[in-house]
Amino acid sequence: MAASSKPGSPRPPPSSSSSMAQDLFNNFSFSKTLKLKTKQQELLIRVTVLTLIYILAFITRLFSVLRYESMIHEFDPYFNYRTTLYLTKNGFAEFWNWFDSESWYPLGRIIGGTLYPGLMLTAAALYWVLRFLRFAVHIREVCVLTAPFFASNTTLVAYFFGKEIWDSGAGIVAAALIAICPGYISRSVAGSYDNEGVAIFALLLTFYLFVKAVNTGSLAWALASAFGYFYMVSAWGGYVFIINLVPLYVLVLLVTGRYSLRLYVAYNCMYVVGMLLAMQIRFVGFQHVQSGEHMAAMGVFFLLQVFFFLDWVRHLLSDAKLFEAFLRITVTGAVSVGAIALGVGTASGYISPWTGRFYSLLDPTYAKDHIPIIASVSEHQPTAWSSFMFDFHILLILFPAGLYFCFKRLSDATIFIVMYGLTSMYFAGVMVRLILVATPAVCLISAIAVSATVKNLTRLVRSQSQAVQSGSSKGASTAKSSSKGVIDNSQPFQRNGAILLLLGAFYLLTRYAIHCTWVTSEAYSSPSIVLAARGAHGNRVIFDDYREAYFWLRQNTPPDAKVMSWWDYGYQITAMGNRTVIVDNNTWNNTHIATVGRAMSSYEDEAYEIMRSLDVDYVLVVFGGVTGYSSDDINKFLWMVRIGGGVFPVIKEPDYLVNGEYRVDKGAAPKMLNCLMYKLSYYRFGELTTEYGKPPGFDRARGVEIGNKDIKLEYLEEAFTTQNWIVRIYKVKPPKNRW
Amino acid sequence: MEEQPHFRVPLSLLLFLSLFLLPTSFSSTHDLQILNAERRIDLTSHIIKVYLTLKVENLGTSPASEVHLAFSPAEAEHLAIVKAAATSGKRKKKTYIPLDVKSAELPDGPNGTKFFTVTLLTSLNKGETATLEVLYILTHSLEPFPVEITQSESQLVYFRDSAILLSPYHVKEQTTFIKTPSTRVESFTVVDPAKRAGTELKYGPYEDQPPYSYSPVLVHFENNNPFAVVEELEREIEISHWGNVQVTERYRLVHAGARHKGAFSRVEYQTRPDATGVSSFKHLLAKLPPKVHSVYYRDEIGNVSTSNLRTDYRKSELEFQPRYPLFGGWKSTFVIGYGLPLQDFLFESPDGRRYLNFTFGCPLTQTVVDKLILKVVLPEGSKDPTAVIPFQVDQHLEIKYSYLDVIGRTVVVLEKSNVVPEHNVPFQVYYTFNPIFMLAEPLMLSIAIFLFFVASVSYLHADLSIRK
């Protein structure tokens, strides 16, 4: 059996936490023994700290509710909210078979087969439980608070994970770090009702259970991790990360000679049961056996069988030479069979090739060249250094330190966390949104650094000040650091230095807490539906134009009206406006989106033909020229041109540029000045003075006077414009009478 | 109630019955006459108020104690409220004594005429006269014409009525004054003598009109007042004996004036507020009780941030804007909720029962409510609810489950259509309640937490492991 730093020694039979809790209870119930033993004190402090962290993780995410209101944020959460609402109203069967005719008109969308239902089912289950307990809550409140609730649960998982890979001290620090880490908060504030909210919990839980299974070799833990994986698959497409990281981890263990029966049990059980369970999700279906992204897991599965077989043969064969020959034959045979199977599967089309999204993860420049629709999303951009700093702060420095500690004490568990940390860090660098996946690993590894450092330093401080008290830590580390302490004892100022370093660590952690709170309250708590700005007198000005427009659509247009807008607003229009949209954030049909992009970038008469063919009744554009709101449709327009031009070569990007420059003022390209998007955005804008001392028609978002002030619309008419002009809705006129 | 059954019965029997059931109406119909009738019709808003002053004389021999008022079918359909008062004294010393008004049926009225009976305080003997002041309110009686207007046009409406008072009695002398909101009157039917001065149209005086005379007139004039109509209002008043009355009002508001046609231009609406969209409205005012707290204003998609609350010790005023200005035909739905201190609204009656004393009707000023559903949610465990309302409403009971309810709360549901601000009068709901029920929910929570602890303790003490 391969060497392992923590061999499969049986864990203390009753789980340690429960026995400690029992002790704790005894202390509470029998008030005679008010004096607690050190161990009990430690437990009391640990439980208290964990409870506080649990609460802290929840309430720090409530900034958005305090600053704004209890509402659903951004884009995708509106779809999730709408489907959850449908689920709670119509029950699971209806939800599962729902054909949504309100989106992707005239194609529609099969909701049950094209979504990860984990989030909706979780929220609905919470809602049903609360209803059963007679808490008359609204489903919206449940949805808003789902993400913070799961963030709290994540801190608990982080604690246990930290405890599993290092010690309980590292677990507590990890829980505390992840509770307030901005990288995670960005996706889990109250109202951010998105898949990631529960998926990070599921991800970490799966990893924790898997590591636990590898450490113990217990079938029960492996099964639990398979169920964790099932939950993850049902919640988020990011499960692909698990199904690739775990085999990679197994492979590394195999290569480094750490193969054990524990690993065999853990991986086989987790993979087989997890795969079968995952196939129950309609959106995933048979991908586990048919898609290229999942083939690594299957390959490792077979490899593991070969390994086991070889182990068995070696056990039977006493002759080392014979075994060597046998090994060579088997390995060659297995590898060639695997390669042939993969080759045949790929060639016959049984195994689908990697998807564009997967490619773009491996090659950051891929999306830019081939799939503009992925590249156009801001959260798919490569990460800037500043956002690493913003989201991780001191963890960025602690991360390498933690890696050092991990390498110093290599075990199956620390190898896992190192691999998780390194791979997710790479993905975080490729795409901004994947910082989220890296956050738990970064927190855990940093926690190891913090915990180990602080522990060593305090031991130094205490070893001098008084008689050495034996800590409750594990034998190995105690021995190591005490021996270090003996050496260090000879150095002068060592204690003062340790105190200074402790203060430094304390200062760093304080800065981290301050930074996290500040980031949460300032940057990550905006719902982006409601915009807030500072007025001239420092007062808070609210721009509620999105909801104004959506509510207008909801109340004052025919119930079957079709609204055309850029896909960003599709989910919001269906959820808040309750109207049919042509395209939405699902982006499953590139041609359809390109058609809308083409309509937006054509002249009005050409666009009218397209809109007639799509049965469009209203066109909605977002315009920030009056308020200076920069993420409006004019700024997104080049993507519409690109995506439209990708399918319809009539649309050529250079037509909209002047010397490669994108302009909207007098020097803009003539096609730009007369395309539908320009006309709809700036219709009658030339009559309005937006800023004192500037000519009328001054676009505050781009800081220029617009180039075409005399816009006449022939086929459309202004139906509604919100108070601050952020959303403008136009009605498509019926065709003229021919006579 | 002296309502007649609607079956076809022989006339003689009918007369016989009426003799029995309506002992006084028999004599009064023909023996009374109206000496002087003066009508003042106020068309300044979309709630039409008609002030009618009648001087009635009894010509017959038998004493008469009832006076009938007649309404045409069109009026009857839109009639929200009829109030009558007897006046005595002159000018400044005038005193008003409210009189009882009931709907009635008379056998000899023309097709579809609806009658109301005013019961006088003292019956009129032969030759005596009495002066009555009648106020009735009509809703939905201004018909926009043109039916659709653009943003820059102002709203013109038709008003149809009769120049001559519809009455079952002979009217000796009568005059009708119609007050329009502005001087812009496009046209009006001339029934001599009729004249117009400023914002007032005068029809009459007409003399010696026989019973049921009718002379239709049509006035076409400008009315840019907000035609704010609440299609349905659901008010839920939830009583908590822990000290709070929570009111939740769900509105479905519509601009019932001339429909908006063509484009809505924000530029024009912003830069020339006086000339465009004159019939639209963007503000509404709700008059709430004093000491109101935790006011919220939201709709299906979230909070609406444009509202303003002014409170003083006598009243609270909530001024709020719908998300967008309402043009003709545009709709909006929203919810207003607020809490009120319990001691201001809940009292104990001498017989030991409790009663809620609250205002009926809609707190919005100048709005018509087509259908008002008022729900009084009594605390869990309340019994025998009875509602006391000064006018006819539909009543039934419901059960509602709120936080931690086991048997559910009794809900008294009152429904009334065509409600105008004049319906904002107090009403009472009586019920019996045992204060022990107040403790039910805290006890339940304590028991639940206790059980949780017991379960934890027993779990920690039980050894579930298989291996020993």
For CA atoms A675, A680, A684, A686, the dihedral sign is negative
Q: Which residue of B has its CA nearest to A137?
A: B403
Per-residue pLDDT tens for B124-145?
888 888 888 999 999 999 999 8
Dihedral in degrees, nearest 10, Cα atoms A383, A388, A389, A390: 80
Kindly list the residues from chain A whose CB atom is less than 8 angstroms away from the CB atom of residue B266. 718, 720-723, 725
Q: What's the pLDDT at A465?
A: 58
Q: Identify which of A645, A673, A669, A671 has the alpha carbon closest to the alpha carbon of residue A658.
A: A669
Domain closes at, from A298, A328, A352? A352
The answer on pLDDT for B25 being more than 90 is no
Residue B61: count of CB within 10 angstroms of its CB: 9
Any domain includes A571: yes
Contact A688 B461 (CB under 8 A): no
Residue type, B60: G
- Which secondary structure element, helix H or strand E, spans residue B84, and what is its range? strand B79-88
Any domain includes A419: no
Contact A718 B463 (CB under 8 A): no
Q: How far apart are CA A180 and CA A447, in angstroms?
A: 13
Mean pLDDT of A665-672: 90
Picking from A135, A544, A719, the nearest residue to B264 by CB comes out as A719
Mean pLDDT of A485-512: 79
Q: How confident is the model at residue A739 (pLDDT cuts 50, 70, 90)?
A: low
Q: How far apart are CA B431 and CA A656, in angstroms?
A: 74
Contacts 24+ apart (CB under 8 A), A78-82: A78/A571, A78/A572, A78/A574, A78/A575, A78/A576, A79/A571, A79/A574, A79/A575, A79/A584, A79/A585, A79/A586, A80/A119, A80/A120, A80/A143, A80/A193, A80/A194, A80/A195, A81/A140, A81/A143, A81/A193, A81/A575, A82/A571, A82/A574, A82/A575
Kindly list the residues from chain B whose CB atom is less than 8 angstroms away from the CB atom of residue A135. 403-404
Q: How far apart are CA B213 and CA B173, in angstroms?
A: 13
Q: How far apart are CA B161 and CA B327, in angstroms?
A: 27
Q: Which residue of A has its CA nearest to B300?
A: A576
Mean pLDDT of A35-49: 84
Cis before A13 (ω within 30): no
Per-residue pLDDT tens for A113-164?
899 999 999 999 999 999 998 888 999 999 999 999 999 999 999 999 999 9
Q: How confident is the model at residue A613 (pLDDT cuts 50, 70, 90)?
A: very high
Q: Which two tokens stand for residue A392?
A: 């991780």
Mean pLDDT of B279-303: 90
Any domain includes A261: yes
Per-residue pLDDT tens for A394-419?
999 999 999 999 999 999 999 999 99
Q: What's the pLDDT at A541?
A: 86
Q: Does B324 touch chain A (CB under 8 A)?
A: yes
Q: How far apart are CA A567 and CA A576, in angstroms?
A: 15
Picking from A25, A134, A688, the nearest residue to B401 by CB comes out as A134
- Residues of chain A above pLDDT 90, percent: 59
Mean pLDDT of A454-481: 60
Q: What's the pLDDT at B19?
A: 39
Q: Which residue of B has its CA nearest to A727?
A: B266
Domain closes at, from A352, A383, A405? A352
Q: Which two tokens stand for residue A30?
A: 């029998």
Which residue, chain included where needed, has tokens 């994970």?
A: A161
Q: Does B458 touch chain A (CB under 8 A)?
A: no
The answer on pLDDT for B23 being more than 60 is no
The answer on pLDDT for B385 being more than 50 is yes
For chain A, report the end-to-end CA distance as a whole number of angstroms.
Answer: 91
Picking from B267, B301, B406, the nearest residue to A547 by CB comes out as B301
Residues 266-285 of B with CB under 8 A from A: 266-267, 270-271
Q: What's the pLDDT at A607?
A: 93
Any domain includes A638: yes
| Beta-sheet pairing, A562-564 with A580-581 | parallel
Any domain includes A704: yes
Q: Identify which of A406, A411, A17, A472 has the alpha carbon closest to the alpha carbon of residue A215.
A: A411
The answer on pLDDT for B279 being more than 90 is no
Q: Which two tokens stand for residue B261?
A: 């046609």
Q: Identify which of B202, B38, B214 has the alpha carbon closest to the alpha carbon of residue B110.
A: B214
- Residues of chain B above pLDDT 90, percent: 48
Q: What's the pLDDT at B91?
A: 67
Q: Give the A:B interface size as CB pairs under 8 Å.
A: 85
Any domain includes A304: yes
The answer on pLDDT for B303 being more than 60 is yes
B144-179 in b/e form (b: 16+ CB < 10 A) is beeeebbbebbbbbebebbbbbbbbbbbbbbbbebe
Q: Which two tokens stand for residue B94?
A: 């005038």
Domain closes at, from A352, A373, A408? A352
What is the ipTM for the molecules in this complex?
A: 0.88
Contact B406 A551 (CB under 8 A): no
For chain B, report the end-to-end CA distance as a whole number of angstroms.
Answer: 85
Q: Which residue of B has its CA nearest to A78?
A: B301
Contact A551 B265 (CB under 8 A): no
Q: How confident is the model at residue A34 (pLDDT cuts 50, 70, 90)?
A: low
The answer on pLDDT for B333 being more than 90 is yes
- Contact status, residue A602 vs residue A640, Cβ threshold 8 Å: no
CA distances from B87 to B93, B129, B194 (A): 10, 12, 28
Task: State how far Cα B194 lies from the chain centre.
Answer: 33
Least confident of A230-234, A361-365, A425-429, B282-286: A361-365
Contact B405 A134 (CB under 8 A): yes
The answer on pLDDT for A10 being more than 80 is no
Domain count, chain A: 2
Q: Which of B238, B266, B307, B459 to mutate to probe the A interface, most A CBs <10 Å?
A: B266
Kindly list the residues from chain A whose CB atom is less than 8 angstroms away from the CB atom of residue B324. 548, 551-552, 720, 722-723
Least confident of A107-111, A275-279, A343-347: A343-347
The answer on pLDDT for B24 being more than 50 is no
Q: What is the pTM of this model?
A: 0.88
Which residue, chain included where needed, has tokens 């790929």?
A: A346
Averaged pLDDT score across all residues of chain A: 87
Mean pLDDT of B375-381: 92
- Sheet of B156-162, strand order: B142-144, B156-162, B216-222, B185-188
Any domain includes A306: yes
Mean pLDDT of A714-736: 92
CA of B270 to nearest chain A CA: how many angstroms apart?
A: 9
Tell me whether residue A8 is exposed, middle or buried, using C-beta atoms within 10 angstroms of its C-beta: 0 to 12, 13 to 18, 19 or more.
Answer: middle
Which residue, chain included where needed, has tokens 């066109």?
A: A619
Q: Does A712 touch chain B (CB under 8 A)?
A: no
Per-residue pLDDT tens for B206-231?
988 888 888 999 999 999 888 999 99
Contact A688 B270 (CB under 8 A): yes
Q: Does A725 touch chain B (CB under 8 A)?
A: yes
Mean pLDDT of A31-57: 82
Residue of higher predicted confidence among A738 and B71 = B71
Q: What is the DSSP string of A456-512?
A: HHHHHHHHHHSSPPP-SS-HHHHHHHHHHHHHHTTSTTHHHHHHHHHHHHHHHHHHH
Q: What's the pLDDT at A588?
A: 87
Q: What's the pLDDT at A1?
A: 37
Residue A614 maps to which CATH number?
Answer: 3.40.50.12610
Q: What's the pLDDT at B12?
A: 44
- Contact status, residue A255 vs residue A229, Cβ threshold 8 Å: no
Residue A588: count of CB within 10 angstroms of its CB: 12
Containing structural domain, residue A285:
226-352
Q: What's the pLDDT at A374?
A: 80
Tell me whether residue B36 is exposed, middle or buried, using C-beta atoms within 10 angstroms of its C-beta: 0 to 12, 13 to 18, 19 or more.
Answer: middle
Q: What would the 3-class secondary structure string for B381-422 be?
A: CCEEEEEECCCCCEEEEEEECCCCCCCCEEEEEEEEEEECHH
Picking from A14, A544, A684, the nearest residue to B267 by CB comes out as A684
Any domain includes A651: yes
Contact A554 B300 (CB under 8 A): yes
Q: What's the pLDDT at A4?
A: 39
